[in-house]
Amino acid sequence: MLCVLIGMPGSGKSTVGRQLARRLGLPFLDTDQVLETRLGCSIREFFEAQGESAFRDREEQTLAECLAQERGVVSTGGGIVLRPGNRQRLQQAPCVIYLRASPEDIYRRLRHDTSRPLLQVADPLRKLKELYADRDPLYRESSRFVVETGRPTVAALVNMISMQLDLALPDRLGARTGETPKL
């Protein structure tokens, strides 16, 4: 089983992904970590030196390679859905979960994080609201399931996702409906 987590920066993709992979006995891949290893520098440094377009090119290639894995839990970068090719690849993946968090919840989690290039602005909450407005429809288009992260603990989210995967995936892998179910 290959399960991909998408969502806004700070929605919990890496944290939940690590725990979910452990629970399911699957390898864990984080596209941002894979990229940093390949780039030899932080995403922020690459972003500043080469620009967003060059970063998105490398991110697209990394996603394609991660999706070629047969088993695992893959955590993606928040902007992975910006490229149409990435959305198409995600739509073809057997399990894509959108970890949905409000801009306010994300801001509360990230307000002191200086490692995220898109949030290094005068008003990060406003930036998160703009990003959310632009990306929420793209996340929904690219996912099979939506999980509201709100305020549950990581353990509670992993439990909920794991139980729902056990129930939903055998019936949903073969057919894609036009509606994105909520977990």
Show binding-site residues.
Answer: 10-15, 32, 56, 78, 116, 135
> Distance (Å, rounded) from C-alpha 46 to C-alpha 48?
5
Q: Is 168 helix (H, G, I), strand (E, B) or coil?
A: helix
Q: Which of 6, 2, 9, 13 is nearest to 142 (CA)?
A: 6
Binding residues for Mg(2+): 14
48-51 contacts, C-beta under 8 A, 24 or more apart: 48/117
Helix/strand/coil for 98: strand
User: Residues annotated in the binding site for ATP, as ranges?
Assistant: 10-15, 116
Helices and strands counted in the chain (H then E): 8, 5
Cβ neighbourhood burial of 78 (10 Å; 0-12, 13-18, 19+)? buried
Write phi, then psi, for 98 (nearest 5 degrees). Answer: -90, 115
Binding-site residue set for substrate: 32, 56, 78, 135
